[in-house]
Structure 1
Amino acid sequence: MKKLMLLSALFVLMLSCKSTAPATNTKVDNKSQVGMKGNWVVSSVTYPGSEYIKVTSFGLADSQCFEGSTWKFVSNNDSGEMAIVKANCPSFSSPIKWFVNKEGKFVLKVLNAGEKAKKVRDGYVLDVANQSPDSFQLVDHIDVGGKLTNVVYQFQKVNQ
């Protein structure tokens, strides 16, 4: 009986030590955010099996429709906008709210016109990778047949 109680106490202790803070409640990585400030275009969207598997990105359109999409990031107020502009894809434009947390996670909310971000319950959390002044990647992890697959969105800076 003592062993059972000890194991139960150990299990509770392990659970209480695990961080339960969601990605949206962490501190902001200002350096990464300032590095993303400006206008960007998605130059490619890649993932294993893309010739066979269709992935819907951000609940909006086929991932390949995001190639050529335009994104504007304003770092001082975590706002911006994005637009799908590829031929044979649904036309879409929307304001966004976003930030990068200290764990390197990009948190995104796609808003309807006039909608407040705090009213939007759904969002997306992606990893930031290979950030430089002229490019960066956002990496989404999706389940394909029980296996995690990375969808990589390659962003290129638009010079103005």
Structure 2
Amino acid sequence: MKKILFICMIAIMVFACKSASSTTASTEAPTLSTKLDKSTQVALKGNWVLTNVSYPGSDYIKVTSFDLADSKCFIGSTWNFISNNNKGTMTLTAPSCTAFTSPIVWSINNQGLLVLKIVNPGTKSKNVKEGYLLKVAGVTDNSFELIDNINVGGQTKDVTYQFQRAN
């Protein structure tokens, strides 16, 4: 029995998990008719540090966040959200990971989902047609969470990204 369990765990580790929301999110730029949650957008305005990434099975399963890097590479990353133009930046600086900086375009829709587009250098945000939908939770003056969904063995699991306001 232990051997079967071990083989199953190895199989799960071999097939790295990918965000379920990454390919299903249409992130057309907000238009005047799009209803946005402005009060939450204003609450997120500023500089943030991603302090923790958690999900069930994190000791055994590797999750690639935002189709960029291992989720653990995002710990310590800095994020800037500008609420009046829905732009910003994200910067990954984890020592054992490849450094990465990118502009982002974001908004929070009236369902409480953060609509996020990562914009490659030299690309206009209007030309980025895919992005990510993440649930916004626990918003305070100094912290908030983004929750993504992943598919693990046919089951949907939550990946929680915890943010703290940068000083």
Q: Is the 8 A contact 2:27 2:130 kept in 1?
A: no
Map 1:7-156 to 2 at 5 A.
26-156=34-164
User: For residues 129 and 112 of structure 1, what CA distance do their matches in structure 2 show?
Assistant: 27
- Unaligned 5+ runs, structure 1: 1-21
Q: Is the 8 A contact 2:27 2:116 kept in 1?
A: no
TM-score normalised by structure 1 residue count = 0.83
User: For residues 23 and 133 of structure 1, what CA distance do their matches in structure 2 show?
Assistant: 27
Q: Which amino acid aligns with 1:28?
A: L
TM-score normalised by structure 2 residue count = 0.80
- Unaligned 5+ runs, structure 2: 1-25
Instruction: Give the match's secondary structure for 1:123.
Output: strand
Structure (1/2) with the larger helix percentage: 1
Q: Which amino acid aligns with 2:140?
A: S
User: For residues 100 and 155 of structure 1, what CA distance do their matches in structure 2 show?
Assistant: 16
**Which 4+ residue blocks in structure 1 deviate beyond 6 angstroms?**
none
Q: Which amino acid aligns with 1:112?
A: N
User: For residues 142 and 23 of structure 1, what CA distance do their matches in structure 2 show?
Assistant: 19
For residue 114 of structure 1, report the CA deviation from its aligned partner: 3.2
Percentage of identical aligned residues = 53
Larger Rg: 1
For residue 118 of structure 1, report the CA deviation from its aligned partner: 1.1
Higher relative contact order (CA 8 A, sep 6+): 2
